[in-house]
Amino acid sequence: MLYLASDHAGFEMKQQLLLKLTEAQIPFTDLGPYTGDSVDYPDFAHKLAESVLVEPENRGILLCGSGNGVCITANKHQGIRAALCWTAELAHLARSHNDANVLCIPARFVSFEIASAMVEEFLATAFEGGRHQKRVEKI
């Protein structure tokens, strides 16, 4: 399952991504917030991290203004490998080399087109394993 969450700074971009995922018929669960009102990002990042950890194949997408707050929070959970990305290439590497299971997007610093490309790459890319596996195990 794919989970998405944000804070108020990432709300509008999250809404656009939800629409794109719906159009692409990619199933997801929106963990909030459900309005653009000010919220505390850790509440939503913790909820998403806990949801992703339920099944090994689950993935998550978190958005906040800088992407840093949600990324730091999600990475507090054992088993979460959240990656802050700015380009589709970084999203690809986060999956293929680091087996990232959460993509963190800095909504105030990337366009919707870039965010959309990152999500596509994140969802389409498999973990390479091999020499990267032992490194991931050391995290």
**Residue 83: half-sphere exposure toward Cβ, Cα within 13 Å:** 23
Determine whether 97 is an active site residue.
Answer: yes
Sign of the dihedral through C-alpha 121, 125, 127, 130: negative
Determine whether 64 is an active site residue.
Answer: yes
| Catalytic residue chosen out of the listed positions 8, 97, 104, 132 | 97
The secondary element (H helix, E strand) that includes residue 21 is helix 11-23
**Pair 101, 52: CB distance under 8 Å:** yes
Measured in whole angstroms, the distance separating CA 90 from the mean position of its chain's CA atoms is: 12
| Catalytic residue chosen out of the listed positions 8, 64, 85, 132 | 64
Q: Could you give the residue numbers annotated as active site?
A: 64, 97
